[in-house]
Structure 1
Amino acid sequence: MSSSSGADFSADFWEQAWQGDLGEASMRSLPPHPRVVEEVSDLPPGTALDVGCGAGAEVLALAQAGWTAIGVDISAQALHHAAQRAEAAGLTEQVSWRVADATTWEPEQRYDLVLSCYAHAPMPQEEFYERLSDWVAPGGHLVLIGHRHHHDDRPEEASTTADRAAARFSPEVWETVTAEEHIRTLQKPDGTSVPLHDVIVHLRRRSPSNQCSDS
Structure 2
Amino acid sequence: MAKKDKSKSKDNKNKEKDATTLSLGKYTAYFEKLENGKKVNLKDLKSDQNAFMPIEVCDEKVYMTEPDGKLIQNIDNQQKCDFMIYCQNLPQTCFIELKGANISNKKDYNPYDQIIDTIKFIRQQEELKELVSANTERHAFIVSNGRQKIPKGIETKERALWQMLFQNGKNRRILELVHYVKVTPADRYSNKERIVCSPKSPVKIPFSK
Pick the TM interval, shorter chain: 0.3 to 0.5
With normalisation by structure 1, the TM-score equals 0.33
